[in-house]
Structure 1
Amino acid sequence: MLIAYWIAAGLLAFVSLFAAGLKLFRTKAQLEGANAMEWTKGFSQGSIRLIAVAELLGAIGLIVPPLTGIVPILAPIAAVALGVLQIGAAVTHARLGEKPIINIVLAVLAAVAAVTGFIVWA
């Protein structure tokens, strides 16, 4: 179970950190021009940055508590939060007529990380 957690959490944290970095360091205009970021047209710059901070904190929450041994139960809670975020993203993409395949895959990864994390650290 521990290996399954680290695989799922590592992949999810990597993608979340990458996505957060894009949203934090690019302007809304730059994101709107990106192919997969059409959804940003319906959100303010502040909302986009808030989503990025949530992704960043979720990625940190997946990795840091288990590595340090300090309150490791926070890791599966972070996975649940990232899963909820991905479900919201999937709904947003679906409303725009896009296929939310990546969001569904990330939500499944979050579910695997949450379940295995709760088994290991609960």
Structure 2
Amino acid sequence: MNIALWITAGVLATVCLVGSSKMFVPQEKMAAMGASAQWVLDFSPSALKAIGAVELLPAAGLILPAVLDIAPVLVPLAATGLVLLFACAVSMRLRRGERATIVGDLIYLVLAAFVAWGRFGPESFTG
């Protein structure tokens, strides 16, 4: 179970790192990436930078506290934050009628919930 949680946390951290590119890629370039990226046009460039920062924090929070053994309770908290982030992403996709692209967000939501449950419960670092 511990290995599955580490792998899942690594996958989620990678997804968040890639997603945090919103901080550096211009809005027009992201919108040109395809139909699933049209949502960026609904947000201002500063809001996209904030969303990118919100995705960068869990990328670090899922891995670094446990590896460095500094406040490892931050791992399940970061996973819980990701659950909230992906729940907001799902609601945004539903509001925009993007039902075809919602599957990825739902999968990431379930993976984040698995890490939160596992690190708060049976495989917590505290004990």
Match of 1:116 in 2: 118
Task: Tell me the distance in 2 between the aligned counterparts of 1:37 and 1:64.
Answer: 29
Contact kept? 1:24, 1:49, Cα under 8 Å = yes
**Structure 1 counterpart of 2:81, which letter?**
A
3-state SS in 2 of match to 1:121: coil
User: Which one has a larger percent helix, Structure 1 or Structure 2?
Assistant: 1
Instruction: Report the Cα offset of residue 19 of structure 1.
Output: 1.1
- How does the TM-score come out when normalised to structure 1? 0.94
- How does the TM-score come out when normalised to structure 2? 0.90
Unaligned ranges ≥5, structure 2: none
Contact kept? 1:76, 1:118, Cα under 8 Å = yes
Contact kept? 1:4, 1:116, Cα under 8 Å = no
- Work out which of the residue numbers 97, 103, 106 in structure 1 matches 2:105: 103
Contact kept? 1:80, 1:111, Cα under 8 Å = yes
Instruction: Report the Cα offset of residue 117 of structure 1.
Output: 1.1
Instruction: Report the Cα offset of residue 121 of structure 1.
Output: 2.4
Match of 2:3 in 1: 3
Instruction: Report the Cα offset of residue 4 of structure 1.
Output: 2.2
**Structure 1 counterpart of 2:109, which letter?**
A
Matched, 1:66 2:70: no
Task: Tell me the distance in 2 between the aligned counterparts of 1:88 and 1:34.
Answer: 21
**Structure 1 counterpart of 2:83, which letter?**
G
Aligned-residue sequence identity (percent) comes to: 36
Match of 2:33 in 1: 34
How many residue pairs get matched?
Answer: 121
Unaligned ranges ≥5, structure 1: none
